[in-house]
Amino acid sequence: DGGITQSPKYLFRKEGQNVTLSCEQNLNHDAMYWYRQDPGQGLRLIYYSQIVNDFQKGDIAEGYSVSREKKESFPLTVTSAQKNPTAFYLCASSMGTRAYEQYFGPGTRLTVT
């Protein structure tokens, strides 16, 4: 079955540690996105990538980094510079910039203490 996988589902880290969230898709989609979700705030875009080896900052990129070395993969690193990293992180993909809808993975809940 085609889809988007995110792992792990739950992640716990100590403050000051970097952590990398995985996102893989087998939909052959060109574009991929990372969102952060906090209660009552909807979804906010962290980074997005339209093609391999290229990505752009979203609205809240500070404290995060990404890479896009393969079409299928778009990992997100939450660095120690992110002041409030505890959140639900969602990865999405779409066929391309002319495509309309985005398809979402199941999410990773990150808790930093």
- For binding to another protein (CB under 8 A), which residues are involved? 4, 6, 31, 33, 40-45, 48, 50, 56, 58, 88, 90, 92, 94, 96-107, 109
- Give me the least distance between CB of 50 and another protein, in Å please: 5
In the 8-state DSSP scheme, what is residue 44?
E
- Give me the least distance between CB of 16 and another protein, in Å please: 26
d(CA 56, CA 46): 9
- Give me the least distance between CB of 6 and another protein, in Å please: 8
Pairing of strands 10-13, 108-112: parallel
Q: Which is nearer to another protein, 92 or 112 (CB)?
A: 92
Q: Within the chain, how many helices (H) and strands (E) appear?
A: 0, 11
Q: Which is nearer to another protein, 19 or 90 (CB)?
A: 90
Q: Which is nearer to another protein, 17 or 106 (CB)?
A: 106
Structure tokens at 59: 């609205």
- Give me the least distance between CB of 80 and another protein, in Å please: 26
Structure tokens at 41: 């705030």
Estimate the share of the chain in helix, then strand, then coil, as percent rounded to the nearest 5.
0, 50, 50
